[in-house]
Amino acid sequence: MNDAVIEAIDLSKTFRPAVVAVNGLDLRVPRGAVYGLIGRNGAGKSTTLRLLMGLLRPDRGTAHVLGSDIKDAPRETRQRVTYVSQEQQLPWRMTADELMAYFSQLYDQWDTAFATDLVRRFDLDTTRPLGTLSGGDQRRVAVILALAARPDVVILDEPAAGLDPVSRRQLIEAMIDFLGDGGERTVLFSTHILADLERVADHIGFMDRGRMMLSGPLDALQGGMRRVQVIFSGDRVPSGFEIPGELRRRTDGPVLTAIVRLTDPDQVNRLQAIEELRVTEHSLGLEDLFIELMERDPHSMGDLQSSPWWQHA
């Protein structure tokens, strides 16, 4: 349990007047994870990240990064964590070169070669005042600063928002280079864009209305869920027929389609053994999973979090 580099317990924040942004959130990010915090706009993702960075004070609960509340942490700890907010404000009179020179003094692990490499790849003009750069380029500068500081933990709020596919790919490549061989450095990012996320994230947390609905290693989330279709030989699905572990179902005449949580490997095989049924089974992409989960009543999701299929994976 001590290997969590980011840990929030019962984290809650309400904005006046009575807008509940984060509501009893539990979040655990293990060391070395690339953790994607997913949710619709307004799910509370940005507020969560700002609480973790100590930019907001929680009403209840705790938010720890590298073992302590970041506001109380010594400088040595704070310089091991970097953060890029959604509306990054950079000093607009300074150039990227000047800002990078400044950061190299602030951060002991500053990596000049990596910064130079990223500037070249992002094709940035580092000699112009930051205020004259496009919004996208300003965000790229902020990302370079966050990664070239070589922190243990990087927190990125919607890094892919507003970027075209080529820029998103560049961002992901920068992230991958930052990770090196993997396993040491931790990235936590929020997003409502699922494209490309599946490439890089290995842990996922689904947030909805300020709560964590489902979280865990992506492999286990994907491996543990299937879309199963059963076609009966009659003209309707017999009443009372259920697929073991089904979470959502749709019936259309003799066709039953269900999202099924796998708890044992023979669950679907047993159905296939029944002669008069035609059973097909499909993997679920992250996007399918997201849609299926978000359409569900969040109050009935608790059983998923405590279910064994991903916790033991």
Residues that bind other proteins (CB under 8 A): 32, 34, 169, 172-173, 176-177, 179-183, 196-202, 218-219, 222-223, 280, 282-288
Neighbours of 191 (CB within 10 A): 20
For other proteins, give the closer residue by CB, 250 or 282.
Answer: 282
Angle between helices 135-148 and 96-106 (to 10 degrees): 20
Q: How far is the CB of 166 from other proteins (least distance, A)?
A: 12
Report the nearest approach of other proteins to the CB of residue 196 (Å).
Answer: 7
- Which 8-state DSSP code applies to residue 159? T
Distance of CA 44 to CAs 25, 202, 236, 296, Å?
10, 21, 42, 18
Residue whose CB is less far from other proteins, 219 or 264: 219
Cα–Cα distances in angstroms (integers) from residue 313 to residues 76, 122, 220, 221, 280, in the given order: 35, 38, 6, 9, 24
What is the separation, in whole angstroms, between the first and last Cα of the chain?
15
H-helix or E-strand containing 116? helix 112-122
- In whole angstroms, the minimum distance from the beta carbon of 101 to other proteins comes to 28
Q: Measured from the CB atom, is 111 or 198 closer to other proteins?
A: 198
CA distance 52 to 297: 27
When the beta carbons of 70 and 259 are compared against other proteins, the nearer one is 259
Contact by Cβ (8 Å): 208, 196: no
Of 130 and 293, nearer to other proteins (C-beta) is 293
Smallest gap, in angstroms, from Cβ of residue 184 to other proteins?
Answer: 10
Smallest separation (angstroms) from other proteins to the CB of 9: 25
Give the dihedral sign, CA 155/58/86/102: negative
Using the minimum distance from each CB to other proteins, give the nearer residue, 26 or 281. Answer: 281
In the complex, what is the shortest distance from the CB of residue 305 to other proteins, in angstroms, rounded to a whole number? 20
Residue (140 or 226) nearer to other proteins, CB = 226
* Min CB(306)–other proteins separation in Å: 22
> Taking the CB of residue 257, how many other CB atoms lie within 10 A of it?
18
What string of DSSP letters covers 191-250? Answer: ES--TTHHHH-SEEEEEETTEEEEEEEHHHHHHTEEEEEEE-SSSSPPTT---TTEEEEE
Pair 26, 9: CB distance under 8 Å: yes
d(CA 81, CA 67) in angstroms, rounded, equals 12
The nearest distance, CB 34 to other proteins, in angstroms, is 5
Residue with Cβ nearer other proteins (97 or 288): 288
| Cβ atoms 154, 147 nearer than 8 A | yes
